[in-house]
Amino acid sequence: QTEIEFWHAFTGRLGELVAEQVETFNASQSDYKVVATHKGNYSETLNAGIAAFRAGEQPDILMVFEVGTATMMAAKGAIKPVYEVMGDGFDQSKYIGSVKGYYTSPDGNMLSLPFNSSTPVLWVNRDKLSEAGIDPDTDMSTWEQVGDVLDQLKGAGVDCPLTTAWQSWIHLENFSAYHDTPFATKSNGFDGTDTELAFNSPAQVAHIGALGDWAKDGKFIYAGRRNEGGANFRAGECALFTESSAGYAGIKAEAEFDFEVRPLPYWKAVADEPQNTIIGGASLWVMEGQTDAEYAGVAAFMDFLSSPEIQAKWHQDTGYLPITSEAGDLTREQGFYDANPGTDIAVIQMTAKEPTANSKGLRLGSFDQIRGIIDEELEAVWSGDKDAQTALDSAVERGNALLRRFEQSAR
């Protein structure tokens, strides 16, 4: 039996669900055994994979969050493109375009498997709204409307009207795509590594400024750079929570209140209607230097993960997007969206409009480090130390220095 090493970044409910998938695969055949190992959070898992490659001890499969995509694409000699691993019969057309597009080479080949792809949405604690005397069905399509609701929640004495996970991903990266505004030049890096950050334009400054005002007034409660705010929301402390669609797994397992998923709000003052949101989560990269038997095992496992039943179950359990049209169709046929209203919002938000140059996604080198800079600057806004314009100007300048260094090293 050939062992396939799979390093991932899941804990909690998602950790249980990925373990279940691996067990199902292992029990379904006897040629291969996938051994899944948790390597820490997304950044730690990426760094562990890079360090292991340098030491010649890389796993067969490495989960890399979307932030690491450009880094992995540039890591020549470290990765084996998924379309090559899958071989001649690989039908790339079954994967949903807007999902696989993030991980596809300029000549149209899938470089990694978009196993756990998400997009941000608005999670609502309906009980919290009712307790505050607010109609839980109140329209919160726009940030203007959310602002009114936050006023009412604060007025009713709610301690945590709004919190967020992944502030840069949701409130700058997706915000920009959703309002069809560049996050960076050169189609957010898709058209070349000579890209510059551009998220300090009036639309982004206005949004971060509004969040900063809400933070000052105790209406927006900052909980951390990753998904720390999830614990507060799941415990029933917060009324509204901007978080990944994959927050679903934990919320469904833990929330003892009536919850709902809504589309990510947009500013009516900036756009008549929203563009599309972009991908987050992670994809599975295959590492170089493995045996033919291991690559055959990786292909079998990825084929299994992409099969309609397994993929539909994963989508329904986790809130991650279905990666194939068949898995989406099967989910609909099974009545899942009817029984769980709102669970199709993430897919609709991603696919309702043809992406523009500003909304295909991001492909920026050293982006994990750049996110660290953005996090630092945003925290200065939430604490009242910097205004939004100053903080975003500084993040752009500091981030551009890292992009230039990446560009030189990629040559």
Q: By C-beta, is 9 or 208 nearer to ligand G3P?
A: 9
Q: Which two tokens stand for residue 43?
A: 């950044």
| Residue numbers 31-50 binding ligand G3P by CB under 6 A | 42
Q: By C-beta, is 104 or 116 nearer to ligand G3P?
A: 116
User: What torsion, rounded to 10 degrees, do the Cα atoms 120, 255, 20, 89 define?
Assistant: -20
User: In terms of DSSP bridges, do strands 120-125 and 238-244 run parallel, antiparallel, or are they unpaired?
Assistant: antiparallel
Query: What are the residue ranges of helices labelled H in 68-113?
Result: 69-74, 82-86, 97-100
Which of 17, 34, 64, 67 binds ligand G3P (CB under 6 A)? It is 67
Which of 6, 53, 143, 169 binds ligand G3P (CB under 6 A)? It is 169
Which of 66, 294, 317, 344 binds ligand G3P (CB under 6 A)? It is 66
Show Cβ contacts of residue 315 under 8 Å, excluding neighbours closer than 6 positions.
321, 322, 327, 328, 331
CA distance 392 to 401: 14
Tell me the CA distances in angstroms from 169 to 129, 302, 361, one per residue in order. Answer: 26, 27, 11
Which of 188, 244, 324, 331 binds ligand G3P (CB under 6 A)? It is 244
Q: In what helix (H) or strand (E) does residue 231 lie, and over which residues does it extend? A: helix 229-234
Q: Which two tokens stand for residue 333?
A: 């046929």
Q: By C-beta, is 50 or 153 nearer to ligand G3P?
A: 50
Strand partners, 35: 5
Q: Which stretch binds ligand G3P (CB under 6 A): 44-52, 62-70, 97-105, 234-242?
A: 62-70
Cβ at position 391, least distance to ligand G3P in Å:
20
Considering the rule CB under 6 A, would residue 368 count as an interface residue with ligand G3P?
Answer: no
At 40, which amino acid appears? G
Considering the rule CB under 6 A, would residue 222 count as an interface residue with ligand G3P?
Answer: no
Cβ at position 166, least distance to ligand G3P in Å:
5
| Residue numbers 96-135 binding ligand G3P by CB under 6 A | 116, 118
Cβ at position 278, least distance to ligand G3P in Å:
9
Considering the rule CB under 6 A, would residue 65 count as an interface residue with ligand G3P?
Answer: yes
Q: Which two tokens stand for residue 192?
A: 């070349």
Among residues 303, 221, 262, 279, the alpha carbon closest in space to that of 103 is found at 279
With CB under 6 A, what is the number of residues at the site for ligand G3P?
13
Q: By C-beta, is 86 or 370 nearer to ligand G3P?
A: 370
| Residue numbers 268-297 binding ligand G3P by CB under 6 A | 280-281
Taken in order 352, 316, 267, 376, the sign of the CA dihedral is negative
Residues found near ligand G3P in the complex (CB under 6 A)? 42, 65-67, 116, 118, 166, 169, 227, 244, 246, 280-281
